[in-house]
A and B are shown apart, each in its own frame.
Chain A
Amino acid sequence: MTPPPAVDESTRTAGAPQDDPDRTAGPTPPDSGFGPGDSRPATLQSGLLLGGRYRIVERIGRGGMGEVYRADDLLLDQVVALKLLPAEFAASEAGLARLLKEVRVARQVAHPNVCRVYDVEQAEGLRFLTMEYIEGEDLASRLRRQGRLRPDEATSLARQLCAGLEAAHERGVLHRDLKPSNVILDDRGLARILDFGIAEVARVVSGTAAREGTPLYMAPEQLAGGEVTLRSDLYALGLVLYEACTGLLPNEEARTLEELTQARRVAPPAPSGKVPGIDRRLSKAILRCLESDPARRPPSARALAESLPGGATSAEAHAAAQRRADRIAAFRAEAAELRRAGLLPIAPADLNAVEKYHAEILTDLVRRHDVDVSEAGKQLSLGMRAIALIGAVALSASAFYFFYSLWGLISLPAQVGLLAAGPTAGLVATLFLARWDRSGYFATMSAMFSVACLILNTTVLWSSLNLVPSPYHMLPWWALGLILAYRFGLRLPLAVAILSLAFFLDAWICLRGGLWWTGCMHRPENYLVAAAATFSPLLVPHRRNPLFPMLYRTLGMCLLFFPVLFLAHNGHLSYIPVPSKGVQIGYQLLGFAASAAAIWLGLRQRWKEVVYGGAAFFLLMLYFRFVEWWWDWMPKSVFFLIVSLVAILVLLILRRLRGVMSELEEVRS
């Protein structure tokens, strides 16, 4: 391992660089970057008051680009970190400009994984930068002390750094100096990126400015004086993670820039091969970052995060973000109640700090995941989902009628081209919209348009070519629905896929039995096969799409219970070779037993949709039974009285059940 430059203090640090001697600056040639910097700011004494506001507590870091002190902000009663520039920089206009730029750039990025920078101040002849103070340790020190991180720590670090870097890149900020000493781990394991000293608000940095940074953590294109892009930051991130996982840099033997440049051309060995226990997905993700060709690296920090172990798809990330927002809302409401009751004494400053912290998180969640932060917002979102569906139907209808207006006027090849263009355009549009719009509403519309156009495509060609109708044309609908659903985490295309497969299975079984297949419920038991097929994906975890199991369960229950309900009154449609009455009684008993089992299972597994579905079908079964038993001969007043009495009985049973469940919850907790 390349010995890190000496740093005075290491175990307690703040938002500041500590080993800046590694960094090359401005016009300084890159190959001089290995030597320690020689500019040192004056050391400040503890207790010194700067500008009547900041009382110096202690020095917590020192590097080539300045010293960092812990200080008390007497005005706001907060602990802050102060970064002082070296004396010769502080005195120059260039130094001030640099400091201002750092604040300007750093302020663009507000994220829990990025250290906050407050302002530039001048006092007692010193220019300094105020920033968030973080109780913790920088990664470089941690690695020196510990050798390497545990595999789970490394994975967590990778996710957090991806999140922080993504936030910066989204704002068009290139960090350009990511390295272990610019990452701070607080005592809760929260990682923060700091030091935006040479960061730029740009998509591409080229020319002399591109050579700034720390050569040990530079991407090959940066070492070669080429263009620096967000993929260069990802290369640096790969090196940081490699070092965090293995305790070593991949090119540790390189001593000069030439050696380093040469070494960068060789793919490093996989971290998982060097250190047992490292997740192979993390190892592969790191190696992708360390590709010498920028084009072969992940396209974004977000894409990299998705490829990490437990990496979230946008759907999963959105679900997790919404849960976080809900927890914050619940916390705020309960904390307000407790304060009103006088049970939560909290200083206004602490309360403000928590509020500010939550506000920042919510802002970030809204910006990145379009979460709802209020009940009204949630209700509006529900309405927006419905509008997206209506919009998709209207858009599809428009495409249908557009084609109908041309159908008889164009040749078959033109028809095929036009018909295939619809689903293709929908698919490509979904790809773009999913990137552009994180709410997913437009992607949903586009995905449904794509599926609807494929339905149009197959049905129209079936007619145009005079083909014998076949259920097999439903399989492409199913497949496209699945592709769109799993690629973009969209539920509506998944619902279309599930229903297409259900109708296909019904039709296919009819066809195999020599029956004509159009229509449904000719043979209701066919749908029990479809229900089994719908439940089967639940056997595998849906970690990346946490909302899909709910849809599988809901539609699976519909495909199970509706045929049972139908057969409970139409026994002659069954395959079972017993008299119709016997079949009906069998399915009636099965309906009651299955819906009761669904309620029990739903309560046990906390699947509310299963509980609701089971309860709804139980009542439907009961209602149809009552109608069949009593409607014809019983006075209607008595009939409805009995129905109401049964409802009261069910309410009493459920109330009792609820009490038992609460007791069980208490015992469990």
Chain B
Amino acid sequence: MKIRIAPLALPAGLLLIGGTNVALVGSSAWNRSGPPAATLTLTERELAMPAFRDQENTRLALSLGLANRNPGGWEIISYRMSEKFPPVEYPWLDSEKLRSFGFDLSMKPDDAEAPEFYRAQPSRRVFLAVEMEGEDWSRWIAGRREEVAKVRADAASGTADKKTLADAEALLALDETSRSRLMPLDASVDGVALGRSHPDAARFAVVPGILWVRVQERVGQPARVAGVLELQVSDVEVTASQAPRLQPWLPREAATEYYDRQRKIAEAGWPPPAAPRYKAVVSWGRRLEPWLGDIAPLIEGGS
């Protein structure tokens, strides 16, 4: 049977456009229907403001970051500085775990072709169980304090210079006051099973994530293959009705001003530790997609 396209084009097009919008809005409504799968209260450390003001775009979204993200907002410090931040290591994400996701770890990380070999391996879709300021994060920050204490001792004994100590203390201050505390506890391709093993919806959230591998090289340490985790939904929209609550802390700088300031900070040392200015409730629904709930100030000046 021949189908004549001409008379169908307009209704088909309108149906397509309407259907697409209904499907998207319906999908979101279904996600938010019923009790949330998880609800966590996060702060600016986990939900960062945009780093600078975009004059052409009025959209406001908070950047949801795992513990391995550096402090502040998006690109809050220069790339050169960000490399110096100590990586947050996940002991559970070992070679065996990476192999279970299908990564090929056959090449030694110190091989000259290893960086390209591992970079070429496609990222995996995973589900992550995350916890806000839980035991894993406490253990990690305790380890960081021990590291810095050791540097202090070395400085006192003269085996470490003052600059090394100052850097270590500045970074620890940022870890303690500015860096995200949302710690991944486990990863799996089975989100339901992961939810069952982390049932406390007020402590844990199961979220869609991305996992890939990289060769990690740090000064004074042997190269290693490490798993890198990221969230599939890393921006949480602030609606027009919520935006006024964040008004006092919206970025004022334009991009050029921001980068100028960051360059000066990088030349001088490290950005000063900044306490979070607001907290917000984030919920995840049936489709494990997040949305922003109440926003409240943590410091004076908030609305």
Q: Which residues of A contact B (CB under 8 A)?
A: 306-307, 401, 404-412, 416, 419-420, 423-424, 427-428, 431, 450, 454, 457-458, 461-469, 473, 476, 479-480, 483-484, 486-488, 510-511, 514-517, 522-523, 570, 572-573
B168 shortest CB reach to chain A, Å: 35
Given A420-B21, A458-B20, A461-B25; A408-B289 close (CB under 8 Å)? no
Given A404-B57, A514-B125, A515-B124; A468-B17 close (CB under 8 Å)? no
Given A466-B289, A511-B125, A572-B120; A407-B21 close (CB under 8 Å)? no
**B294 at interface by CB-CB < 8 Å:** no
A21 shortest CB reach to chain B, Å: 41
Given A405-B57, A457-B17, A463-B235; A514-B124 close (CB under 8 Å)? yes
Q: Within 8 Å CB of A454, what residues of B?
A: 17, 20
The SS class assigned to the B binding surface is mixed
Smallest CB gap from A465: residue in B = B28
Q: Within 8 Å CB of B34, what residues of A?
A: none
Contact (Cβ within 8 A) A476 B125: no
Contact (Cβ within 8 A) A466 B241: no
**B16 at interface by CB-CB < 8 Å:** yes
Q: Which 9 A-B pairs have the closest CB atoms?
A: A408-B58, A487-B9, A516-B123, A465-B28, A522-B122, A404-B57, A407-B59, A476-B20, A515-B122
Contact (Cβ within 8 A) A407 B25: no
Report which residue of A427, A486, A487, A516 has the largest number of chain B beta carbons within 10 angstroms of its beta carbon: A516
Q: Within 8 Å CB of B24, what residues of A?
A: 458, 461-462, 465, 467, 473
Instruction: Give which listed residue, B17, B60, B123, contacts A423 with CB less than 8 A.
Output: B17
Interface set, chain B 1-40, CB cutoff 8 A to A: 4-6, 9-10, 12-14, 16-21, 24-25, 27-28, 31
**B303 at interface by CB-CB < 8 Å:** no
10 A-B residue pairs with Cβ-Cβ distance under 8 Å, sorted by A, are A412-B25, A419-B21, A420-B17, A420-B21, A427-B13, A465-B24, A469-B233, A480-B16, A483-B5, A514-B189
Interface 1/0 per residue, B44-79 and A, CB below 8 Å: 000000000000111111000000000000000000
Q: Within 8 Å CB of B25, what residues of A?
A: 412, 416, 461, 465
A499 shortest CB reach to chain B, Å: 18
Task: Give the complex CA separation of A406 and B291 in angstroms.
Answer: 21
Q: Within 8 Å CB of B60, what residues of A?
A: 408
Given A466-B290, A483-B16, A514-B102; A431-B120 close (CB under 8 Å)? no
**B237 at interface by CB-CB < 8 Å:** yes
Task: Give the complex CA separation of A63 and B6 in angstroms.
Answer: 43
Task: Give the complex CA separation of A57 and B144 in angstroms.
Answer: 115
Interface set, chain B 135-180, CB cutoff 8 A to A: none
Size class of the contact patch on chain B: 35 or more
Task: Give the complex CA separation of A457 and B57 in angstroms.
Answer: 16
Contact (Cβ within 8 A) B125 A516: yes
Q: Within 8 Å CB of B14, what residues of A?
A: 424, 427
Task: Give the complex CA separation of A511 and B101 in angstroms.
Answer: 14
Interface set, chain B 75-120, CB cutoff 8 A to A: 101-102, 117, 120
Given A416-B25, A457-B17; A486-B122 close (CB under 8 Å)? no
Given A405-B57, A487-B9; A461-B21 close (CB under 8 Å)? yes
Given A408-B243, A466-B290; A428-B10 close (CB under 8 Å)? yes
Contact (Cβ within 8 A) A411 B241: yes
Task: Give the complex CA separation of A306 and B124 in angstroms.
Answer: 51
Q: Within 8 Å CB of A486, what residues of B?
A: 5, 9
Smallest CB gap from B123: residue in A = A516
Task: Give the complex CA separation of A467 and B233 in angstroms.
Answer: 7
Contact (Cβ within 8 A) B21 A467: no
Given A458-B24, A510-B122, A511-B125; A483-B13 close (CB under 8 Å)? yes
Report which residue of B24, B287, B288 has the largest number of chain A beta carbons within 10 angstroms of its beta carbon: B24
Contact (Cβ within 8 A) B16 A463: no
Contact (Cβ within 8 A) B208 A468: yes
Q: Within 8 Å CB of A306, what residues of B?
A: 6
Given A463-B237, A487-B9; A404-B123 close (CB under 8 Å)? no
Smallest CB gap from A410: residue in B = B240
**Given contact pairs A412-B25, A476-B19, a sample of 13 additional A-B residue pairs in the complex whose CB atoms are under 8 Å apart:** A404-B58, A405-B56, A408-B57, A424-B13, A428-B10, A431-B10, A457-B20, A463-B61, A465-B289, A467-B27, A468-B289, A480-B16, A514-B102
Task: Give the complex CA separation of A167 and B101 in angstroms.
Answer: 68
Task: Give the complex CA separation of A461 and B289 in angstroms.
Answer: 13
Task: Give the complex CA separation of A536 and B9 in angstroms.
Answer: 22
Q: Within 8 Å CB of A522, what residues of B?
A: 122-123
Task: Give the complex CA separation of A484 and B16 in angstroms.
Answer: 12
Smallest CB gap from A453: residue in B = B17
Q: Within 8 Å CB of A465, what residues of B?
A: 24-25, 27-28, 237, 289
Given A457-B17, A461-B21, A511-B125; A487-B6 close (CB under 8 Å)? yes
Task: Give the complex CA separation of A406 and B123 in angstroms.
Answer: 35
Given A468-B287, A468-B289, A469-B232; A573-B125 close (CB under 8 Å)? no
Q: Within 8 Å CB of B289, what residues of A?
A: 465-468
**B280 at interface by CB-CB < 8 Å:** no
B24 shortest CB reach to chain A, Å: 5
Given A406-B58, A515-B124; A416-B232 close (CB under 8 Å)? no
Contact (Cβ within 8 A) A411 B240: yes
Instruction: Give which listed residue, A420, A515, A523, A570, contacts B18 with CB less than 8 A.
Output: A420
Task: Give the complex CA separation of A423 and B28 in angstroms.
Answer: 21
Given A420-B18, A458-B24; A487-B237 close (CB under 8 Å)? no
Q: Within 8 Å CB of B101, what residues of A?
A: 514
Instruction: Give which listed residue, A405, A424, A515, contacts B58 with CB less than 8 A.
Output: A405
Contact (Cβ within 8 A) B233 A466: yes
Task: Give the complex CA separation of A431 and B9 in angstroms.
Answer: 9
**B210 at interface by CB-CB < 8 Å:** yes
Contact (Cβ within 8 A) A407 B57: yes
Instruction: Give which listed residue, A405, A408, A463, contacts B240 with CB less than 8 A.
Output: A408
Task: Give the complex CA separation of A601 and B170 in angstroms.
Answer: 68
Smallest CB gap from A307: residue in B = B4
**B239 at interface by CB-CB < 8 Å:** yes
Contact (Cβ within 8 A) B125 A404: no
